[in-house]
Each structure stands twice: as structure tokens, then as C-alpha cells.
Structure 1
Amino acid sequence: MAPPQIYTSPYPSHPIRSTSVWTRLFASRDASADVGGYPGSLPAFIDADSGATITRAQLVHLTLSFAYGLKHHPNTSPVATRGSTVLIFSPNSLAWPVVLFGSVAAGLRCTLANSAYTRTELAFQYSDSGATLIMTTEDGLSVVQEMFAEIGIAKEDAAKRIIVLSKDLRWAGGPSAPRSPASNGLLKMEDLLDRGKLDQEEKFEGSDALETLYICYSSGTTGKPKGVETTHQNMTTLIDIVSAPFDLRAKGTVMLGILPFYHIYGIAKLVHAPFCQGCPVVIQTKFEPEKFCSVIQRFRVTHALVVPPVLVILARHPAVDQYDMSTVRYLFSGAAPLGAPLAKQVKERLLAKRGGRGDLVITQGYGLTETSPTTHILEGADSDRKMGSIGKLLPNLEARLVEDDEGKVDAAPGEPGELWIRGKTVMKGYLNNPSATENSITPDRWFKTGDVAVRDKEGYYYIVDRRKELIKYKASMPPAELESVLLSHPDIADAAVIGLYSAKEATELPRAYVVHAHLEKVKSAQAKAEFARSVVKWIESKVARHKYLRGGVGVIEIIPKSAAGKILRRELRELAKREAEQGVLGTEVKARL
């Protein structure tokens, strides 16, 4: 058996730090009492709605005060002990960095829950993570209280486990807001800020840096969500290795934070990485096209982390023409593949507003919750020449492209293979799920990403698609490639492709689901059918014959996606299954499940 083909990063290696995330971000670098190497007076986080701002020095004070409150308040002190877990259930807000880093300073683990979860979904994560406290907004209180009732915790005991993040921002110098009656009698974040202040954070030095820091839940492709154990060392390594290709240190750089902080992409690249480089983040609660554009204009935003659906809107939405977005220099996409046609459309539109002048980089990276998250970044200088690529492997990481499940056969140069990653950003394991850990991480610590990639001669990687989602018609066909082509259609606002198995042809046929850019034009069944036929015909002029949409096209109102923008193909397969049962797809095909 040939030795494995192991690829290394072209970037210089970074020393591995064995310290806590809080120490890495906040500790002074010299005698001037700076915060993490930058003046304490610099803004760190800004509330998009009110403009309320927390400086770096204020954030140090707030997090150490919150940590002290957790350790000394009678409600929280019995359970806020080193290594215990707190769950944050909240949309983006100015309170997030305070409660997150305050909990870390207190030595706690943090598990981050999707703010759209139902009580049942939340109950699973609360119980599975072993959380003892939960932080939520006034709007999330009803779900939290229903969740506690579902798992059998008495109302009086549940009240002691809740910390409310209210809309009142006076603690940050912002505006006041009325209290919700539902929060009466419950502990507020502000109640923990005025009891005292820790002299120093809990230390995680040496081997202690391998203790679990965050537990983010990965949906995976089967079964219940799995808790990914991310250590202090995972996160400090990530912070260091992204600093060169993801440089935010230029004067005047302002980042817009719209990605959900409960997702590893948002928490790592919006709450950690910008702070590490002295870049302020404007926090927007959720993505709304007009508000997104107005916030860019108001705060002169230069950088934004996005997902492909946001770029689809930037390519089409009229709000883009109503606001001054000329300050934007860098759009970084992640969480799902970004095709070159869409990136080109957005760039041409935004530059056209500037008369073709100015710099604008649209690029992307790659990673998973299990890799903390980023393993590849396409640098700005290569963004046009290599658009469609996820870039080069980041420092301190190794990669393989593997043909088989056991890792005995590596893909030939230039050929596709499953991407395996090894390095200090790879997760500790799946919480309470040793079998999933064993199936995902080999004995020699290679993490199997499940994504199929190609590496070109210059060391740039391209994600073909998920291994389990490739459509096999004569040759393997990546759905993401077809989706990228479909998004260049002037009347398609969004698209997704799945495989249908044809018993007649004993192979899979690609079927697309598309969202019309003007839904009012396809309200009738006849209009949908005509548009679907036109799309089938249109794509035949764009792709090779084996990539034709032989499974047809379905016209729907919305493509189901996760909060991070990943297409939920399982839901589309269920839709196709129902269509097959109704005879819409014909009797000879069925959705691959």
C-alpha cells in the first residue's frame, strides 16, 4: 500500500498557545495597559440599532464583573463552578460578548443554541450539554419556560436557572427600554454587573487549555444534532492561523456582524477574530436587506461576513441602489459553496454604483463546526483569478484527499477525494457520542469532513460537494455546480438540486427546486409548469449533456436552509418523496433518502 499523500499549508507555522481564550484576547501585551495589544479606548462592539458602543477596556471590566456576579450571586454561585455549562439562547445583541466572555472568564463552558429553536429542540441541547444555567432574551423566555416544564423542572427551580438579557442598554451607555412583565422576579444580566469584579480570569494554562470551551451543535446528515467539543486551544489556534489571510488590522476597518453568533462561523469570525485584530464589529440582530444596506451606510462598514443567500439578495434587491455602499471593500462568504457567477454579479453591481472605481473583494473560505471552524481561506489577491476556490490550506494544518472510507487510497493529483483534515483546530470529540467521534476521527486524528474536494497544481482547493449528496448519472455530479449555474438565471432568486433515483434508467437524475425572482408571476400551476420547462431548456445551453435536469424542476416559494445558509436537502428529498407519491414525478423515479 502506498504511503498517504499528505498536503501541508504553504503558510509559515504558528506557535501553539496553551492558554485560555479570555487570556489570549484580553491580556495586555506590554506595559501600557492595552487590551490584547490595542488601545483600550478603541470601540469593540457597536449596537446597530442604537449606536451604543463598548470599548475594549469596557469589555474587560464588564466580563470580569459578570464573571464575579456568576460566582457570587446566590442563584448562580452553586452551579457556576469551573467546568460547568451555561447555555446562551439569544439572537445577536450587544450583550453577547459580555455574557460569552464573562462566562469564559468564570471558567465555564458555553453551549450556543439556535435562537429559533422550539422548546423540544432546546430541551435536547440543554439536557445533552449538561447545562446548569440558561441566558435568554425577554422574547425567548416563553420557550425557555416551556422547555423547563417539558423536562420536568419545577417553575420555582427553573426561575433560578434563568438569566435575562433585556433590551435595556443603559449598562452600555445606550437607551433604556421597558421591562417585559414576563421577566419580573427573574435574574437580569445587569444584576450581575454591579456586585464586584474578578481580579483575574480563570486560567487554562498548559494541558488545561485542552479543556472544553464551547459546545456548538452540528446537525450533520443523520440523527440528532451532535455537540462538538471545542477547546481553548482549538479556538486560540484558529484565531492565530486566520490572521494572515483574514487581515482586519488596516485603519478604518469596520466589520458588520449579521451572522448568528450561536453558529461557530459567527462566534469565531465575528466575536473572536475581529477583536483579536483591533477591528470593531457592528452587531445587527438579523439580516434584513434594507437594514443591512442602511447599516453599511451609517457606520461606513468596510467588511462583512455573509452566506451565499445574502449575496443573492445583493445581486437583485432594490435596496442596494438606495444606499451608499461604497465603503464596502471585502465580502467574505462561508458555510455553503459560493459559485463564481454569483460573485461576479454582485461585484459588477456594486462596482457599477461607484462608476467602476475602487477595490472590492468577494471571496470565501471553508470549514466546519468540527474544525473550529476555518481550514481554508481564498485570499483577496486571488479572489478573481481563483473565484470558486476555497483557497489554500491554513497554517498548522494537514490535509488528505481520500478515495475510500478507510483512508487506504488517496486521490490522484487533480482528482476528487474526500477531504480529511488534521491539526490543532480539530474538535476534541462529540459530546456524549463516542461512536460518532470514532466514525469521524481516525486513530491518527484525521477528521473526515464528508466533503469532496479537488486540489489544483497551485495548491488551491475546490469543494465539489458533500460525499453523500453527489448525484451519480454516468459520472458524479455535484449539486453545488448546477446550483451556481441556476443562480445566474435572471428570473431565479434561489435554487437547490437533489438526486432522484430512476428505476427505469438505474441511475440518479438531477432535479432542481427554484424560487422565482418575482413570485407574483408564478402563482398558478400552469405558470409554474411553464417556468419549470423553460428552466430545463435554458440550462441545456449552459452545461454538458450529463448535467441536464432530467429529474425536472420544481417551483417553490423558499429553499429550506439552516441559519448558516446551508441547504437542507433532507427537506427537499421529503418534498420529492411526496411529489413521487402523488405521481408528479412519474412512477419510475423516487427521491434518494
Structure 2
Amino acid sequence: MCVLNRTLTNATKKLPRSAESVFTYFFSTIQSRYPESHPAYIDAETGLTITRGQARDLALQLGYGIREVFPKRGGERLKRGDTVMIYSPNSITWPVILFGSVAAGLKVTLANSAYTARELEHQWKDSGAKVVYVHPSLVPTVLETFKLIGFSPAEAKRRIIIANWGFADKSVPQGGYTTVDDLLGKGRLSVEEKFSGEQAKNETCYLCYSSGTTGKPKGVETTHSNITSLVNICDTLYPPTDYRKDVMLGVLPFYHIYGAVKLLHFPYLRGTPVVIMSKFDPTVFCRSIERYKVTSALIVPPICLALVHHPATTKFNIKTLRFLFSGAAPLSGSLVDAVRQKLASVGANVYVTQGYGLTETSPTTHLLPLEHSLRKVGSIGQLLPNLEARLVNEDDTDAKEGKPGELWVRGPTIMKGYLNNRAATENAITPDGWFKTGDIAVRDKEGFYNIVDRRKELIKYKGFQVPPAELEGVLLQHPDIVDAAVIGIESEKDATELPRAYIVHAKGVKGKEAQEFTQQVKKWMEQRVAKHKFLRGGVIVVDAIPKSAAGKILRRELRERAKMEILTEPEFQTTPVKAKL
């Protein structure tokens, strides 16, 4: 690492920036590094396995099917550059439809499978999606979304593909919908759509949605080159692996860029098979480690907490596990110590480390190497190669050595911009290419970073972004609420932040009536937002929301108030995390 006047640059030699599409890079350039018969993706429940050779072949079949077969079945005709949506929890179908769509030259927008119809409507419209791959269980939500948009049943049918390939249960909702099975085996693309040179650097490949501090979620335009650059720079600091022995457990949601890139793309670069879980369940998690001899897993802090306290940790042989890599939210030193002790008690000598990144950075920018995971516990690690970083004061001057500042990052993994939102893009990325993360960091003399605060007001619930402004907008739709403010409160018990709402009742209710009203509001909200946005931190009726003279909510005052309130609220009483040995 070398310190320059304005920039900290990883001194590792510069890596080549791929000028190929995601599909070409993964399935042509690096395909020959490992045997075609080697497993790539494994269904945790059934054991169904897709080899590396099959992954490429199935993707080319799907690419042909969606471009040529789907229109003949009455579906929307798609062309290079069109956008398709994936709306599904994790499944063995995901790599087939994701890479098949990319092979067909399509952009892919990834939708949170917990979204309500209203939330999905925003992403559908904003992304310009024309077709949705949908899990059978989520078809009713899609149909409700299309009804809100104004599609007739016939129009909705033209835009739906049931993503059920590889399922033991082949039943699909009635209505004659096209399935992924219908699109496979009918032919294959002789060659994928190519995006070379400047096209790879400028053409959007994926559209994940990131919640800003104001308004609705924004589409993050991630290019082909963003992805190929990211996996290559991560490869330099990621722990060494042996493709013949290593197995990764894939539990993070693929609709989140953390799961999509680090589970469907990066392990493929390494030749590491990924065991796909549909969702996190402690028993299935530990059983899968035993069954598939899993050596590593990408996690979020609440999974660490579950491993400390859930009895499944002691019921299965998990001794093959070598390391856990945490991201998406801060991981405390006390929780690292607790999970290492608990795993050691069952014979698993496991390193626990973490990294840092954002959707806008594709995602990883920092990584804590295993050899420093104990000495530097709590740190997000070192800046990755090919990236530059600055710590910046509020007046845009550089913070002094050892002092906190907003983390700015520049390099080949920074997003193209926010879709159809020039103002937001210009607010986030400076003219000379620095992306403003909104997180306040400190860098020590050895080049290790710690996140100490967040300039942005986002709430992080178990790794998911929860924008206060969005929840406030929903609350204000309630006929009896005239003002509202939402903040995040720390829950050590749950190892995450929880959204907490302060509301002003139109008639100024008090006492028991106010308490009953807050419970009604919580239930009312649960009908209108995804589960990770539920008001788990509580709802409080107040006389007025504290605001500045300019009308800005004074969230700092509310956070200070909340710290005092939770001292007397039993559900938030916490004790230090201890491993149950």
C-alpha cells in the first residue's frame, strides 16, 4: 500500500481490465481452466447438479429459447439490449436464466423476492423490463403488479415465464404460462451476443436496485466490465482454494448484488461448486455443510448469531468448514469471537472475516485477509487492487491521517450510474470519477479501514437497505397520520438495525389509545412493504416530529431519544453475546 497526496492505491500490480461480456469471459475465456464435468451449481435440497459444461450449454439453450421460442408461444419478442426481470428466491434455476439472458444480449434486473406488488411495480416501470422470470409461488404478486400497471390478462401472460426448471414439483399456476422447461431443448445459440471493447465497459448488464436517502429505490447500472473487473480484483486477496476439494454454501439472496456476484460469478472463476439454498435455515445450513462437505460460506452477521445460539450447530458434522466471509452489514468483534468459539466447540477451526462494498461498487471494495482476521477484528480490511480511495471532510478536503472522513472510491468497478436519474448520478459520482459511499471511515497506519459512522441515513436490516424516506412516504398514506419519521435502532440481540417509526396522530391520541394505534400501524405497514422493511423497532406516537428551520427531519434528536427509550423497553434489553459451549 502506498499513501499519495489525495489517494490510497493498493500497490499490487495493475490487473488487466476485461473487454469482454460477462458471458464470454466466464464461459469462454476462463471455461477451460477447469474440467467441463466439474460441478458448478448444486441444489441443496435435491442434490441436482449442473456441471460447468452443462451451465454453458443450458445458458445457450435458454438464450435461444427466450429469443426464438418464447415469441412463437405468444410471448414478447425480445431484442439485444432489452431488459428482463428475475423475481424469485434462490433456486437451481437462477444461473440458467441469468446467464442465458446475458448470452441473449439482454439486461437483467434483479427484484427482491419479498417485494409487494406496489414495490415490484416501481422496479418494473423504472427498469423498462419487458418479461419477468417468476417463481411459481410469486405469480399472484406479479399478476397483481400487472393489474396495477393496467395489463390485461392476455398481456400479462405474454410477459411471464415460470422459473421452475430443476424443481421436483413441476406443477405451475393455471393459465397456460410458458415455463423455463418449455424454452430448453429446442435449440441453442451458436454464439452468444458479443459485447467487446468499449461496449463491455459501457453496456449495462445488471440492474440491481439501491435505496437512496430520498425517494424510491434507484436502478444501479452495472456493466459487463464492472463485473469482470470485480471478480479479478477479488481473486487477488481472497483466500487460496483448491477446486477439487472446496465447496461454497450459497445462502445469500441472488437478487442482492452481494449474492449475485459473489455466489453465481466469483466461485465460477475459482472453479468452486456452489450449493444453493433457497433461504437461510440454521438446520438446513448445517446439514448442507455435512452433506456436501462445505468449506466456506458467504454470510451476513445475523447468520453468525444463529450459529452461536441454534442447536443445529451441534447436531451435524461441520468440521470441513474453513472460513466464513461476512458482508452487507458491520460485523462486531464480540460476535466474531462468539461464533469462532462455538464452532471450535464442535471441532470446526473456522476463520471469520469480512469485507465492504455497495451495490454501486459491484460490490466489494475492501477485504480483510484471513491472516489478519483476528488481529484486525472489526476492520473491513484493505483496499482491493486497481481501486483508489479517499477519506473526505464535509468541505470536500481530505481528512488528516488517522482522522475520519467520508469514504470515496474510484476504479473500474464503479457503476455506470443510476438509471434514468442524472441528478442522482451527478450527486453520487464526481466529474473525475470518485463515488461517494456515504460511509464515514478511518484508515490506520497499516492501511486497514474501519467504518465508524454513516453520512447517509439508510437503515441496514440484516444486510438489506431500508430507506427511511420510503417508509415515511408509506406511513403518511395512513388516514390518521399527519407526520412521520423513521430511524434505525441498534439491536444487539438480533445483530442488526431495526426500523423504528415516530408518528403524529391527527387527533393527538394518548395513553392506551396511542398504544393500540401503534400496533394497528405496524400491522397496516406489514400489508404494504416487504418483510425487511417491517417496523420491528417499534412505533411511537409523538406530539411533533423534530425538524430544522428548513423542514429537514432532525434524525439525530430522534436517535438520542430512542437510546433512552429502549433502556426501558424489555424487548430491546441486551446482554453481551456469549457462545453456548
TM-score > 0.5, shorter chain as reference: yes
What's the CA shift for 1:290?
1.2
1:446-465 alpha-carbon deviations (Å, 9 max, x no partner) = 00000000000000011112
Alpha carbons of structure 1 residues 80 and 470: separation in structure 2 relative to 1, 3 Å: closer
Residue 419 of structure 2 corresponds to residue 427 of structure 1: no
1:388-537 alignment to 2 at 5 Å?
Answer: 388-404=378-394, 407=396, 409-468=397-456, 487=492, 492-494=493-495, 496=497
SS at the partner of 1:336? Answer: coil
CA distance in 1, matches of 2:458, 2:328: 18
Aligned position for 2:285: 292
Alpha carbons of structure 1 residues 276 and 248: separation in structure 2 relative to 1, 3 Å: farther
Q: For 1:349, give the aligned amino acid.
A: K
What's the CA shift for 1:248?
5.7
Aligned position for 1:106: 104
CA contact (8 A) 2:79 2:105 kept: yes
Aligned position for 1:58: 54
Aligned position for 1:132: 130
CA distance in 1, matches of 2:127, 2:499: 33
CA contact (8 A) 1:138 1:183 kept: no
Alpha carbons of structure 1 residues 126 and 27: separation in structure 2 relative to 1, 3 Å: same
TM-score by length of 2: 0.80
CA distance in 1, matches of 2:496, 2:178: 45
Q: CA RMSD in A?
A: 3.1
Q: For 1:6, give the aligned amino acid.
A: T
What's the CA shift for 1:79?
3.1
Correspondence for 1:160 among 158, 161, 182: 158
Aligned position for 1:188: 179
Q: For 2:105, give the aligned amino acid.
A: G
Ranges in structure 2 where 5+ consecutive residues have no aligned partner: 460-488, 503-511, 513-521, 546-555, 562-581
Correspondence for 2:204 among 212, 220, 241: 212
CA contact (8 A) 1:451 1:465 kept: yes
CA contact (8 A) 2:61 2:186 kept: yes
SS at the partner of 1:69? Answer: helix
CA contact (8 A) 2:114 2:530 kept: no
CA contact (8 A) 2:23 2:192 kept: yes
SS at the partner of 1:342? Answer: helix
CA distance in 1, matches of 2:40, 2:78: 26
Q: For 1:240, give the aligned amino acid.
A: N
CA distance in 1, matches of 2:306, 2:530: 15
Aligned position for 2:250: 257
What's the CA shift for 1:61?
0.7
Q: For 1:179, give the aligned amino acid.
A: S
Alpha carbons of structure 1 residues 76 and 134: separation in structure 2 relative to 1, 3 Å: farther
Alpha carbons of structure 1 residues 580 and 285: separation in structure 2 relative to 1, 3 Å: farther
1:326-363 alpha-carbon deviations (Å, 9 max, x no partner) = 11101000000001110010001101221xxx642100
What's the CA shift for 1:314?
1.0
CA contact (8 A) 2:76 2:159 kept: no
Q: For 2:378, give the aligned amino acid.
A: G
Correspondence for 1:226 among 214, 218, 222: 218
Aligned position for 1:545: none
Alpha carbons of structure 1 residues 44 and 500: separation in structure 2 relative to 1, 3 Å: closer
What's the CA shift for 1:183?
4.0
Aligned position for 2:189: 198
Residue 31 of structure 2 corresponds to residue 12 of structure 1: no
CA distance in 1, matches of 2:501, 2:253: 33
CA distance in 1, matches of 2:74, 2:254: 24
Aligned position for 1:26: 27
CA distance in 2, matches of 1:22, 1:497: 38
Aligned position for 1:306: 299
Aligned position for 1:179: 171
Residue 375 of structure 2 corresponds to residue 385 of structure 1: yes
Alpha carbons of structure 1 residues 148 and 380: separation in structure 2 relative to 1, 3 Å: same
CA distance in 2, matches of 1:191, 1:248: 40
Alpha carbons of structure 1 residues 388 and 36: separation in structure 2 relative to 1, 3 Å: farther
SS at the partner of 2:145? Answer: helix
Aligned position for 1:89: 87
What's the CA shift for 1:249?
3.2
Residue 326 of structure 2 corresponds to residue 363 of structure 1: no
Correspondence for 1:69 among 65, 71, 77: 65
CA distance in 2, matches of 1:276, 1:331: 19
Which deviates the most, 422-431 or 65-74? 65-74
CA distance in 1, matches of 2:322, 2:126: 42
Aligned position for 1:518: none
CA contact (8 A) 1:366 1:375 kept: yes
CA distance in 2, matches of 1:418, 1:77: 48
Q: For 1:343, give the aligned amino acid.
A: V
Aligned position for 1:79: 77
SS at the partner of 1:465? Answer: strand
Aligned position for 1:510: none
CA distance in 1, matches of 2:232, 2:29: 17
1:577-588 alignment to 2 at 5 Å?
Answer: 577-578=540-541
Q: State, as a whole percentage, how many aligned pairs show the same letter.
A: 49
What's the CA shift for 1:82?
0.5
SS at the partner of 1:97? Answer: helix
SS at the partner of 1:414? Answer: coil
SS at the partner of 1:216? Answer: strand
CA contact (8 A) 1:260 1:286 kept: yes
Alpha carbons of structure 1 residues 121 and 304: separation in structure 2 relative to 1, 3 Å: same
CA contact (8 A) 2:500 2:535 kept: no
What's the CA shift for 1:200?
1.0
Aligned position for 2:116: 118
Alpha carbons of structure 1 residues 331 and 76: separation in structure 2 relative to 1, 3 Å: farther
CA distance in 2, matches of 1:416, 1:499: 27
Q: For 2:60, give the aligned amino acid.
A: L
How many residue pairs align between the two structures? Answer: 495
Residue 228 of structure 2 corresponds to residue 236 of structure 1: yes
CA distance in 1, matches of 2:21, 2:337: 41
SS at the partner of 2:403? Answer: coil
Q: For 2:454, give the aligned amino acid.
A: R
Alpha carbons of structure 1 residues 469 and 66: separation in structure 2 relative to 1, 3 Å: closer
What's the CA shift for 1:222?
2.2
Q: For 1:362, give the aligned amino acid.
A: V
Residue 265 of structure 2 corresponds to residue 272 of structure 1: yes
Alpha carbons of structure 1 residues 220 and 56: separation in structure 2 relative to 1, 3 Å: same
Correspondence for 2:42 among 30, 37, 46: 46
CA contact (8 A) 1:577 1:591 kept: no
Q: For 2:27, give the aligned amino acid.
A: F
What's the CA shift for 1:324?
1.2
Ranges in structure 1 where 5+ consecutive residues have no aligned partner: 30-34, 170-175, 472-481, 502-524, 526-555, 583-587
Q: For 2:383, give the aligned amino acid.
A: L
What's the CA shift for 1:493?
4.5
